Structure 1
């Protein structure tokens, strides 16, 4: 294998806040009326950038904002399941950058492309199919158990012999997608629509479009002949 790129799914391959608003509204149904309005206003302020919350991604932000009003893991999980069903329907507006599809088609003959997501298969695979992305990946790995599972899955894709200097991780959740990759010696591209960059990354941007030039140049460098070390 010439090289490997690990793409996260949620918050990375598509743009749009509809899932997070639906998730918040589903949680809010179980709150007292006065708490519902206050909570949903806080979620909207976060999504609009008026009041940024320190969170790994918008899923975490929705839950963190709910905690003072309703701390119930089971309820949050049920609301998340309902949201995943909503995301697979046409009512959920999501946008995939045209540049992403072009990039994936361009790179498939040069490098192995994998989508590695913590979402379960019944959520991740239909969503990728709906977005016309599923067929553009060589490997789709749902239920990946990141951050711990990221390196394990990379090693499996390298057939047991991990090659860090030829591996790139792209994602929006720093703890899941970037920190373990950097520790393992991978190249990284961190995406954060709200500009939350808690640590180092080789490349970073507010959207996938911002890091596509880096991804393309990184793949190009893999094909360049290695210069012999100077004596």
Structure 2
């Protein structure tokens, strides 16, 4: 038995508004409305300040587009185009401070997995550029959270304790909580969400010590032999 940590990607490992701005820019180009970017930026700022309860930045931009009657196919094509340039100058992201060193500390003691609703295109290349792609024992793309995360968590729970980390409670953490896993909320909503979580912080970097302690405790618990069947037989 060994513990597993499930990491979300956007807003958890990949920080910065670059991909979201690229998404808005792609929509603006497709509908030939240069002012759309300004309205999208205003919605993004409202989310980050807590003035509006969007799920995340992508939801903020999508909500503006939908409210203006922009076709779903245009929105989808714009999202895909923005993901195709993930990590480039036009959609820049950065990791939490000290991420590689953090992974070095826990990688031998826990299974590390990536679970994201995003397509795989661009994600692996970004992780490789940060020197952390090889630490993951498994990567799950286009998961279909929240429901699609449940089988990933269930499989991990068969191996031992699970900690699910993400920036959207409803998508990244609620499925884990329902199945009895621990949870860590990061990002803009961490300071204002009323949902029950095991830990929370403005950034993953703020939780390194807590996660390391969780791994140590979980590893110790996993090492304790299960004597329940023996005790019952006696």
Task: Confirm whether residue 117 of structure 1 aligns to residue 116 of structure 2.
Answer: yes
State the Cα distance separating 1:15 from its structure 2 match. 1.4
SS of 1:26's partner is helix
Query: 1:171-212, CA deviations, whole angstroms, 9 ceiling, x for partnerless residues?
Result: 011111111111111110011225452522111111111222
Pick aligned residue for 2:196 from 193, 200, 204? 200
1:64 counterpart residue number: 63
SS of 1:118's partner is coil
Pick aligned residue for 2:208 from 209, 212, 216? 212
2:29 counterpart residue number: 29
| Structure 1 Cα separation of the partners of residues 186 and 53 of structure 2 | 15
Higher RCO (C-alpha 8 Å, min separation 6): 2
Supply the RMSD in Å over aligned alpha carbons. 2.5
Where in structure 2 are there 5+ consecutive unaligned residues?
Answer: 225-234
The aligned length equals 222
1:170 counterpart residue number: 165
| Structure 2 Cα separation of the partners of residues 202 and 220 of structure 1 | 15
2:174 counterpart residue number: 179
**Residues 19 and 86, structure 2, Cα contact 8 Å, conserved in 1:** yes
| Structure 2 Cα separation of the partners of residues 89 and 38 of structure 1 | 22
State the Cα distance separating 1:76 from its structure 2 match. 0.8
CA change 1:69–1:153 in 2 (3 A) is same
| Structure 1 Cα separation of the partners of residues 216 and 135 of structure 2 | 19
TM-score, with length taken from structure 1:
0.84
CA change 1:47–1:129 in 2 (3 A) is farther
**Residues 46 and 52, structure 2, Cα contact 8 Å, conserved in 1:** yes
| Structure 2 Cα separation of the partners of residues 42 and 28 of structure 1 | 14
SS of 1:169's partner is strand
Pick aligned residue for 1:221 from 200, 217, 228? 217
SS of 1:121's partner is coil
| Structure 1 Cα separation of the partners of residues 71 and 104 of structure 2 | 43
Please, which moves more after superposition, 190-199 or 166-175? Answer: 190-199
Q: How do 1:102-181 and structure 2 match up within 5 A?
A: 102-157=101-156, 161=158, 163=160, 166-181=161-176
Please, which moves more after superposition, 97-106 or 16-25? Answer: 97-106
1:229 counterpart residue number: none
SS of 2:144's partner is coil
1:97 counterpart residue number: 96
State the Cα distance separating 1:48 from its structure 2 match. 5.9
**Residues 19 and 82, structure 2, Cα contact 8 Å, conserved in 1:** yes
| Structure 1 Cα separation of the partners of residues 66 and 144 of structure 2 | 23
Where in structure 1 are there 5+ consecutive unaligned residues?
Answer: 227-231
